[in-house]
């Protein structure tokens, strides 16, 4: 038996188990979405040059940046012709253009918008419909 032919099935079962417990728990989808979004947003802020420290000023700045988290989570397709990075850049006061961003920040935005958030929305709706 070819092990590589089983990889897509294993990945699908793994994602279903840990994103909504095989369509049995829509709350798990929300939890996974929030945890993923916080981690991805933190990585995005690091990639665009924001440093964090544990001083009072650093913690206050991070909390202030969390108010822009919904702009990061919402997939770009819902902005209807607006550039997501332009919106984030204006909100965060970034001076860089899209082409000046590090490759990792661009990949993070595309991965978030094209795969993770749409997948979690689908998983949440499918689990919610069963209850």
pLDDT tens, residue by residue, 49-99:
777 777 887 788 778 888 888 877 877 666 654 567 777 777 777 777 777
> What distance in Å separates the CA atoms of residue 71 and residue 78, rounded to the nearest whole number?
10
122 band by pLDDT with thresholds 50, 70 and 90: confident
User: ∠ at Cα 12 (129, 9), nearest 5°?
Assistant: 130
Helix (H, G, I), strand (E, B) or coil at 26: helix
pTM value?
0.74
Say if CB 98 and CB 33 are below 8 A apart.
no
What confidence tier does 18 reach under pLDDT thresholds 50, 70, 90?
confident
> What tokens were used for 81?
């012709």
Q: How confident is the model at residue 103 (pLDDT cuts 50, 70, 90)?
A: confident
Distances (CA, A) of 3 to 8, 10, 14: 10, 10, 16
Q: How much is the pLDDT for 77?
A: 65
Neighbours of 86 (CB within 10 A): 13
Segments making up each domain of the chain, as ranges: 24-129
Q: What is the pLDDT of residues 28-52, one digit of tens each?
A: 888 888 888 888 888 888 887 777 7
* Nearest residue to 39 (alpha-carbon basis) of 131, 108, 104: 108
């Amino acid at each position: 038996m070819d092990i590589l032919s089983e990889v897509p099935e294993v990945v699908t079962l793994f994602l279903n188990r840990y994103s909504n417990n095989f369509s049995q728990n829509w709350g798990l989808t929300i939890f996974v979405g929030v945890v993923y979004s916080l981690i991805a947003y933190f990585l995005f802020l690091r990639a665009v040059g924001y440093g964090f420290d544990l001083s009072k000023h650093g913690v206050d700045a991070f909390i202030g940046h969390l108010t822009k988290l919904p702009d990061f989570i919402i997939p770009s397709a819902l902005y209807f012709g607006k550039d997501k990075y332009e919106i984030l850049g204006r909100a965060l006061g970034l001076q860089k253009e899209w082409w000046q961003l590090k490759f990792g920040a661009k990949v993070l935005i595309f991965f978030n918008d094209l795969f993770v958030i749409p997948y979690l929305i689908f998983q949440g709706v499918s689990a919610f419909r069963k209850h």
